[in-house]
Structure 1
């Protein structure tokens, strides 16, 4: 079997080389299309099942393999994709979508890279119905089901008291699908752009006999590319995932410019960076961009992560509410912001600037300055109160643990000095590897940690959800859960106000103290344009990518 796979790999490489020669790669005078993108994944995809997978490698392949009713364009606006149009009822509870009739499933049954008529068939409303029933089925254990609790009967289905076929998702005919919600939800269209809302064909799913999404013969594409070959040997090399353009799904308004995307499946982000240096991949995503000259590379970045202090609830000192609040009130973010480089921005709120609503940054719609609590005088008074409550004459020094793979901790020294000057408290910094950081958090071996918060997709709901799902953040939020209230916001204005209210409620617990908004980057060779990076899912989208080499 392995010999057959490696032979197929050599065949693919020859085919790709031949295609590149005929396409010519394009130049600035052309459109930049027809390229084979050399790419790399930092790990083997866990699954190519959109209703289940949530690791960055899986997300990248899924993004290039499937498409849904709606999508976000490169400007962040929500637009129709496989839906030709849609209608919303006057009460905001019923969404009716008319499907395009030129979106097709393709499965290359005979492995000849030719799209034969018998190998493709239309994506219908039933495929979306089946996908959503899977998504909400409690036996599925989808990590995304909680985001769709606005759908009629979804809670009862998740609890196991209702059957999946009672879900408020119905095929009115082959090309018309209707969603019925329990209440109006301004986030619903945005949710439909996420991979969890991609279609799934029931007949093909059943034919995989429990292996759906786990190998190259148990996946079927309805998007820009299809998986031609997926080979991974954890003890070997030459691991690849090779995709070709799905020419059946080219139509007006939905271009697919590259002809191939060839992924090397590697074992770490460090190996991906090395592959980039060795010219084996044309882009990579990273949390740190030092050493890459923006004059030589196309570097794009979005502030999609919030870094904030969390406190161990079992800590002898920082379990004290007055002490936590004192540390929070002593942070002068305005002064801090003047010292930061472009990688970081002082954070007053929880939801980072990259989260958008209706194509605009949420932080533009709701300034986080409304959460500014800087008050050094009250902070000093609270320290004295904490000493009395703790029955101590001074506050012993502690260290903030920091994941050095995520952020450069040097700016924390500014805060450390200010706490010492204004409060008489010494809080040092301990840099750890990502693995060490996770282990210390899980074991509870810390007093304070600089903890990263990022949503599973581009939504304030996904960010806030971390404070109900992640143990240390749940403690930090003091049990506050605003998810349902936010979901019930029926207009954009209500949604903006709902998010701000939810942020305020969490921040008032003083268990999470936001300090920085952190940039995530995509670094690409300078002859590339429009490679789209989603810093929330970690996916890299090559659909409209152009190369002028």
Structure 2
């Protein structure tokens, strides 16, 4: 009996030592999120917070580091055919799906079949994923998406349980980056079918294979993640879990949220009061954070641009857009741009890297479009003659109520009035409302933020690719499409040059007017380390996070 007791105690000690080393590991990291999430289906979730949670609870073939480097996760190795059209991935054999009490108790391995099923889900002809356009390089993808071919014709297969093969129609050197995205996470077909179309909608309809599982979601003012005991990796999970507090400034605390640390207060105050361990932070609060010994990361990862609704005939006119573009005098912004922003003439933010280099260092910061009221006037006169109108029916610009943007947009408004006799009103709304109206097509022009979801100029320029889920402006240019397709099979300086040609083509076409680059700040409390912040989606990774005493 004594031997049995000692064995149990020894096993318990080993278990505890694996979960934490007494140096702050195994603790719960507290983090604020701007709102709750309603969908955690990796193949369909588009919300940035949802994708962050997915990236911490699922694991794909690869993961993209904050530097832009893509590192293997479930793909222990891979090889590419000489023509660049066939990728063969060899998977680790120790990965398992999580257990859900009363629903899924088996130690089910994660296999190549789970990736085949997940990728096929992207191209369901009846309800395709918003990310399907990212993977159209896969053999027969367009035909499967249109319904002309069955899903089984897609160029993805599992010759063996732990061997995944992907065949392409055209070479695409960005395939590993795409396979690192949340949309390429595995999906177990048997479990998916058991959820009866509710996959990703609640806890009983989700399986996890990442470092954490979701313990609570939807019933409180917070979402909790805890270590996934079924997770296997060469490097252990350090954090015990994450508490995501849903931040709704000005709302009252419920009794449950108050017990968890006043989840309704504003994030900067909560961070400075020590109620959260890490957070996305406003520029105005940085000095207070550093004064208290906190640390932060900063990324020039966002560009603010004016975009136009191409569904409207006069804004689909290239010369109208050029008139609006050439008449913008950015020198008027001097002295009014907030400290977290800088005036921009080009589209791709400085944080974007590719192939081990920084794109902006290669391409520079100068636009091929110059400020010239005379050129702008000539374009407008020619456009109105072509359209057969005497006055352009352009009278509204949507602007987000933040970062001094209404004042700055007012200078653009004055340029259009002075040089083009366009009396454009400004509709100032919260960011969520502006983006929603753009998504619904209920706008003429809007000043909106664009960010890179992965480490490549393509991730920003794809906002202007025909058919892209990101392209909510109905903009189309065959030359831009051709150039972006060409970058997929190009390397090094050649790829950078083609990216620059594509960026210049978008700017010269007047598809967007870049105004500012914005810096995003993430802060960690003095006792916190190991939280990975990234300029690319999903943004924050908690596997290695820990707190000291």
Category of TM-score, reference length = shorter chain: 0.7 to 0.9
Helix, strand or coil: the match of 2:517?
strand
Q: In the alignment, is residue 505 of structure 1 matched against residue 487 of structure 2?
A: no
Structure 1 counterpart of 2:200:
213
Q: Sort the Cα spacing of 1:161 and 1:273 in 2 relative to 1 into closer, same or farther, 3 A.
A: farther
Distance 2:41 2:392 in 1: 51
Deviation at 1:247, TM superposition (A): 4.3
How many Å apart are 1:439 and its aligned residue?
Answer: 6.9
Find 2:31's aligned residue among 39, 45, 48. 39
Deviation at 1:50, TM superposition (A): 0.8
Aligned counterparts of 2:152 and 2:176: Cα–Cα separation in 1: 22
For the residue of structure 2 that corresponds to 1:291, the secondary structure is helix
Counterpart in 1 of 2:79? Answer: 87
| From 384, 401, 405, the counterpart of 1:404 | 401
1:99 aligns with 2:86: no
Q: CA deviation at 1:487?
A: 3.5
Structure 2 counterpart of 1:150, from 118, 137, 143: 137
8 Å Cα contact 1:41-1:266 kept in structure 2: yes
CA distance in 1, matches of 2:441, 2:118: 39
**Match of residue 351 from structure 2:** 354
Mapped partners of 1:169, 1:319: distance in 2: 38
Moved more, 299-308 or 437-446: 437-446
> Which residue in 2 is equivalent to 1:281?
276
1:487 equivalent among 474, 480, 485: 485
Aligned residue runs from structure 1 range 260-339, under 5 A: 260-265=241-246, 274=266, 277-278=269-270, 279-285=274-280, 288-293=282-287, 294-295=289-290, 296=292, 297-311=294-308, 324-331=321-328, 333=330
The correspondence of residues 130-149 of structure 1 with structure 2, limited to 5 A, is: 130-149=117-136
Unaligned runs of 5+ in 2: 1-15, 252-262
Deviation at 1:452, TM superposition (A): 2.7
Report if the CA contact (8 A) 2:28-2:239 is conserved: yes
- Deviation, 1:53, is 1.0
CA distance in 2, matches of 1:391, 1:200: 54
User: 1:184: how far off?
Assistant: 0.6
Deviations 1:332-357 (A, max 9, x none): 55785786454223222223233332
- Cα distance in 1 for partners of 2:71, 2:183 equals 17
SS in 1 for 2:120: helix
Give TM-score scaled by structure 2 length. 0.79
Q: 1:171 aligns with which of 158, 161, 169?
A: 158
Query: How far is 1:222 from its partner?
Result: 1.1
Listed one character per residue, the Cα deviations across residues 367-418 of structure 1 (whole Å, up to 9, x for unaligned) are 3425342345544665777799999999999664311146644444555667
> CA offset at residue 316 of structure 1?
11
- Once residues 478 and 487 of structure 1 are traced to their aligned partners in structure 2, the CA distance between those partners, rounded to angstroms, is 14
Question: Distance between the aligned counterparts of 1:269 and 1:455, measured in 2?
Answer: 31
CA-CA distance at 1:274 after TM superposition: 2.0
Measured in 1, the distance between the counterparts of 2:507 and 2:143 equals 32
Contact map agreement 2:399 2:409 (CA 8 A) in 1? no
Q: 1:318 to 1:203 in 2, by over 3 A?
A: closer
Q: How far apart are residue 213 of structure 1 and its match? A: 1.7
| Counterpart contact for 1:477–1:507, Cα < 8 Å | no
Contact 1:308 1:452 in 2 (8 A): yes
The answer for the alignment partner of 1:545 in structure 2 is 545
Deviations 1:219-274 (A, max 9, x none): 222111112233x24xxxx334322112443533x342201212334557987662
Distance 2:513 2:153 in 1: 42
Structure 1 residue 37: deviation in Å? Answer: 1.0
5+ residue gaps, structure 1, are: 1-18, 27-31
Larger mean CA deviation between 195-204 and 258-267 belongs to 258-267
Match of 1:257 in 2: 238
Q: TM-score scaled by structure 1?
A: 0.79
